[in-house]
Structure 1
Amino acid sequence: MKAHEIMIREVYKVRETDSVRSVILQFIQHRISGMPIVNEKEEIVGYISDGDIMRYIGKHKDIVIDSIFYVNVIKGDDFNFEDRAKKILDQNVMLLAKKPIKVAWDEEVEDIAATLGKKQFKKLPVEKNGVLVGIISRGDVIRNTFRSLL
């Protein structure tokens, strides 16, 4: 079984020029917890999840300043929780983005399962010719693998 056989083709995504506010609005509207970030050519340039946002709005005691975001936006723990949440809304989505782990359109599902399990990702964007064409979740792999076996 190949990625294109089980992937979800209608993918919620965000542009690399969008704000974190637009991401959160999509999370709320579509009841999702993560999505790919694409450029103007629909190439996958990042991925953002609710976990990425949690990392920045949570309390930061004994943090290591490892990002420009902490230095220029959060500045340690100078803000209370609500202030940190407000401050992040108008930041560019790429500030919080992770480097995308993606799968090819024709990749075998067993390889995708290994990546989802090993890396502990919940979803992976699917690309064909460098362009976003779908997304695969752990649930998609489980449902499609075991449907005919039960």
Structure 2
Amino acid sequence: MGIKSFQGKRTTTNTKESEPILVSDYMTRNLITFKEEQPIEEVIETLIKYKISGGPVVNEKNELIGIISEGDCMKQISESRYHNLPVDKNNTVKKAMITSVETIDGNMNIFDAANKFLESKRRRFPIVENGKLVGQISQKDVLKAAMKLKSNTWK
């Protein structure tokens, strides 16, 4: 009788379908947000204190109305210095924020979100559900997801 198998006894392996890794699994839900009537100086202090590069601007109903970044604040400072004036105390978030905000769906696959980051050159995307701000995903959150996936499945 000949040898039937060189591999030894074969065991059945439970190959589990890999579940998609969603944006909602890695997004930040506890956000630092800003109001449009806040002074720019207050925003700058908050950005420095919490070591963040920007944040969403919401109204009293927690609806996303804009986003403000370090760059937006720097523009305000630069304009003041260009005209040799102190930073205007009446400069508010409303004057500096970007109102055309691109959002992404919390049910989007994290790798699709990574591609969206690469295409748009943005550092963060807010996530809105039913008109309300529910979270934000950053490039760093996508990197964390990739590292977690690597430790679980990649060799």
Fold match by TM threshold 0.5: yes
CA distance in 2, matches of 1:104, 1:129: 11
One-letter amino acid of the structure 2 residue matched with residue 133 of structure 1: V
Task: Quickly say closer, same or farther: Cα 1:58–1:91, change in 2 above 3 A.
Answer: closer
Q: Which runs of 4+ in 1 moved over 3 A?
A: none
1:95 aligns with 2:115: no
One-letter amino acid of the structure 1 residue matched with residue 53 of structure 2: S
CA distance in 2, matches of 1:23, 1:103: 24
1:17 aligns with 2:37: yes
CA distance in 2, matches of 1:132, 1:91: 25
CA displacement at 1:33 relative to structure 2: 1.3
Counting matched residue pairs gives 130
Q: TM-score scaled to structure 1, two decimals?
A: 0.77
1:131 aligns with 2:132: yes
Q: Which runs of 5+ in 1 are unaligned?
A: 60-73
Work out whether residues 21 and 90 of structure 1, in 8 Å CA contact, stay in contact via their aligned partners in 2: no
- Matched position secondary structure for 2:150: coil
Q: Which runs of 5+ in 2 are unaligned?
A: 1-20
Q: TM-score scaled to structure 2, two decimals?
A: 0.75
1:46 aligns with 2:47: no
1:117 aligns with 2:118: yes
Work out whether residues 103 and 125 of structure 2, in 8 Å CA contact, stay in contact via their aligned partners in 1: yes
Which one has the bigger helix percentage? 1
CA RMSD of aligned residues (A): 2.0
Matching residue within 13, 24, 27 for 1:7: 27
CA distance in 1, matches of 2:27, 2:102: 15
What is the percent sequence identity of the aligned residues?
28
CA distance in 1, matches of 2:130, 2:107: 11
Which one has more relative contact order, counting CA pairs under 8 Å at least 6 apart? 1
- Matched position secondary structure for 1:104: coil
Larger Rg: 2
Work out whether residues 54 and 70 of structure 2, in 8 Å CA contact, stay in contact via their aligned partners in 1: yes
Aligned to 2:9: none
CA distance in 1, matches of 2:44, 2:74: 12
- Matched position secondary structure for 2:126: strand
CA distance in 2, matches of 1:91, 1:31: 22
Alignment of 1:17-96 (within 5 A): 17-58=37-78, 77=82, 79-80=83-84, 83-84=85-86, 86-87=87-88, 89-96=89-96
CA distance in 1, matches of 2:45, 2:37: 15
